[in-house]
Amino acid sequence: MRKVTAFVLAASFACAAYAQQPQRPPFQTTKVEGTDNVYIFRNGGHQAMFIVTSEGVIATDPIAYGRPTGGALYIEEIRKVTDKPIKYLIYSHHHYDHVAGGKAFKDAGATIISHKRAKERLAALGDPNTPLPDQTFEKSRTLKLGGTVLELSYHGLNHSDSTIVMRLPKEKIVFIVDTIPVGAFPGRGFIDVYPLETEQFMERVLKMDWERLIPGHPGQPGDRLGTKKDVEDQLALIRYASDEVKKWARDGKCWEPAEKEVKLEKYETWPGYQSGLPLVVRRYCGLWGRGT
Ligand SMILES: [Zn+2]
């Protein structure tokens, strides 16, 4: 990715998450290498894709949970690239760490689109920082704007019941949030995942035509994009975790002692292993030990 803008971390910025990476700016906009108009906006540990066309901008995920000015900042970053109107804002799913902050986009005139279930979830929760989608779809919707085609599609339960795949067919890029970590052990996003359906989701994603995956959290190492190999690796990881915990569960060892003793050693060098392991084991204990 070519760096378009980079903002130096203010000396007063003291977020513990960046303690090990002092050079990394708190937010950043980068153009995806090899594309004319596809960008990634990263804010902290979250990222979103936006596409600039001759007729306007398609933005995704405001990523402004806990960041009251995050939506406006994202728009400022878009404004450094283009003065075209922001026509659409697409929600990847209904989780606030990705979709809070949409008001700035709504005020700028964007039409907000999500899966139908995301709107139902958000309506029930009523967060003031997260405007409800204006339009929804169930299976798929294709947006065409200024020569860019963006396909939105739903492939069943996965990380949530509203997570969609966004695909740019010409660029062979997909933007998939939370369900498929790139180069990292699953973390907090796994706590309420639909485990068996997620395997089917990953199989469906592998059958789609694309070459690069933009994740909702920067890929490891080096904020890289993902490939189909990363999806295969993640699918192998969750199948292995599932099979291992199933043995413990069938022996009556969930939640304890499985939660204390299952190790999945072959993944211990993966980023996020230490913090993610208890969450993954808990979820599979829930599945195989309780049927939930
Ligand atoms: Zn999520």
Measured in angstroms, how far is the CA atom of residue 97 from the centroid of ligand 1? 7
Q: What is the pLDDT of residues 17-73, one digit of tens each?
A: 444 556 789 999 999 999 999 999 999 999 999 999 999 999 999 999 999 999 999
Measured in angstroms, how far is the CA atom of residue 54 from the centroid of ligand 1? 31
Q: Which amino acid is at 291?
A: G
Measured in angstroms, how far is the CA atom of residue 43 from the centroid of ligand 1? 16
Cross-strand bridge partners of residue 114 = 136
Measured in angstroms, how far is the CA atom of residue 180 from the centroid of ligand 1? 11
Q: Which amino acid is at 20?
A: Q
Per-residue CA distances from 131 to 71, 106, 112, 118 (Å): 12, 8, 8, 11
Closest by Cα among 268, 168, 278 to 225: 168
Confirm if 183 and 220 have CB atoms less than 8 A apart.
yes
Q: What is the pLDDT of residues 223-265, one digit of tens each?
A: 999 999 999 999 999 999 999 999 999 999 999 999 999 999 9
Q: What percent of the chain has pLDDT over 70?
A: 92
d(CA 10, CA 100): 24
Predicted confidence (pLDDT) at residue 4 exceeds the cutoff of 50: no
Confirm if 131 and 165 have CB atoms less than 8 A apart.
no
Within the chain, residue ranges assigned H as helices are 70-79, 96-99, 103-107, 116-125, 195-207, 228-250, 258-261, 273-285
Instruction: Tell me what pLDDT residue 216 has.
Output: 98
Confidence of residue 98 (pLDDT cuts 50, 70, 90): very high
Instruction: Tell me what pLDDT residue 189 has.
Output: 87
Instruction: Tell me what pLDDT residue 22 has.
Output: 61
Instruction: Tell me what pLDDT residue 138 has.
Output: 98
Instruction: Tell me what pLDDT residue 192 has.
Output: 85
d(CA 71, CA 50): 13
Task: Look up residue 218 and give its two tokens.
Answer: 């920067």
Measured in angstroms, how far is the CA atom of residue 251 from the centroid of ligand 1? 32
Measured in angstroms, how far is the CA atom of residue 160 from the centroid of ligand 1? 7
d(CA 161, CA 165): 12
Per-residue CA distances from 209 to 115, 179, 190, 214, 219 (Å): 21, 18, 26, 14, 20
